[in-house]
Amino acid sequence: MEAPILQPELAAKIANLYSRMEQAYDLVARQLDFTCDGCPDNCCDSYFLHHTHVEWA
């Protein structure tokens, strides 16, 4: 069996970081009235990775 790419402790820290990033984005998006309503063909519905190499792991 192969060793995990990330140790569980680091994976938990990264999961927490991404959760906090998502919460912060959602807060700002609400304040700026960002919404995906009425735009089915934009990045709201697309899968993309744009922060770090960790997202590709």
Given this model, what pLDDT does residue 18 score? 86
Are 42 and 36 in contact by the 8 Å Cβ rule? The answer is yes
User: How many CB atoms are located within 10 Å of the residue 5 CB?
Assistant: 9
Given this model, what pLDDT does residue 19 score? 92
HEC string of the chain? CCCCCCCHHHHHHHHHHHHHHHHHHHHHHHHCCCCCCCCCCCHHHCCCCCCCHHHHC
pLDDT tens-digit map of 5-17: 788 999 899 889 9
Q: Does the pTM exceed 0.85?
A: no
pLDDT tens-digit map of 25-54: 889 989 998 877 777 666 665 665 566 666
Distance separating alpha carbons of residues 25 and 2, to the nearest angstrom: 35
